[in-house]
Amino acid sequence: MRFISIFLSVFIFTACSQKEEKIPVDLTRKGFSYYPAGELAPVTSGQGRKGDNYVYAPGIRFPIESAPAYLNSQVYGVGGYLGPKGSLCSETNYAYPWHDNYCEKRSKYNMPLCSMGTGHQGVDIRTATCEKKKYYAVAVENGVITSIGTYTVQLRGISGRTYRYLHLDSATLKVKRGQNLRRGQRIGLVSNNMGSTPTSIHLHFDMKQTIKIGNSSKTVFVPPYTSLVEAYKRLLQGHP
Ligand SMILES: [Zn+2]
């Protein structure tokens, strides 16, 4: 019993001290590190939702089947249309630490949880390597496919949340509208599909749910970053 309580207090102490470590935080032995939620890079890319570490989607499976994966900006990263010149396949884009990009500057989306009132509705995630149609996006929880567009697949989870997966290769999708999926089941291959104009090779992932804002309930795109950090750690630890 004494052993257990010592172990627990050491564990709690370790957990607390890790939380206070300087950024970026490295919590695994696999080199995974990430900047805090809402810390967008570069600062000109917008106002992130700093300090909101709430896990909106607890226990979800990471939306890409295998690690590593790199969550960072497509627009402001190397080769992005507002980023440093260079190849989209630059190794800088395929490296830790992660950088949140929810609320990154976008003019057209109404986003009540972003301080600008508009912004990126979700986050962008690169696969292990700069190769399209190689890595699968998978269901983050049990649910049903509610719509399939030109480059958007929507999953409604049993939690009531709606998830969107963008830029999958449409010719090789593994799902149909109305199909029930189990957590971890393959949806399609991550690609650069954005209809007639291709984008960078990445998965755009977002989550919509009903939350209370003031006295009213609103269905909004919520910050996925912290939920994904937790999901990714589970994937790295071998129990996704
Ligand atoms: Zn995106």
CA 122 to ligand 1 center in whole angstroms: 6
CA distance 184 to 179: 14
Q: Tell me, in angstroms, the distance from the centre of ligand 1 to residue 6's CA.
A: 45
Distance 72 CA to ligand 1 centre (A): 10
Question: Over the stretch 160-195, which tens digit does the pLDDT of each residue have?
Answer: 999 999 999 999 999 999 999 999 999 999 999 999
**Cis, bond preceding 224 (omega within 30 deg of 0):** no
Cα dihedral sign for 59, 65, 68, 73? negative
Give 160 Cα–ligand 1 centroid separation in angstroms.
Answer: 22
Range 128-143 average pLDDT: 98
Taken in order of first residue, the domains within the chain and their CATH numbers are 23-235 (2.70.70.10)
Read off the pLDDT of residues 186-234 as tens digits, 9 standing for 90 and up: 999 999 999 999 999 999 999 999 999 889 999 999 999 999 999 999 9
Asked if the interface predicted TM-score (ipTM) of this complex is over 0.95, the answer is yes
Distance 10 CA to ligand 1 centre (A): 40
Q: How confident is the model at residue 17 (pLDDT cuts 50, 70, 90)?
A: very low
Residue 196 C-alpha from the chain's centroid: 24
Distance from the CA of 120 to the center of ligand 1, in angstroms?
6
CA angle (188 as vertex; 186, 194 as ends), nearest 5? 155
Name the token pair of 166.
């963008």
Going from the Cα of 215 to the center of ligand 1, the distance in angstroms, rounded, reads: 30
Residue list, CB under 5 A from ion ligand 1: 124, 204
E strands, the chain, in order: 25-26, 33-34, 70-71, 123-126, 136-138, 143-148, 152-157, 162-166, 180-181, 186-189, 203-213, 216-222
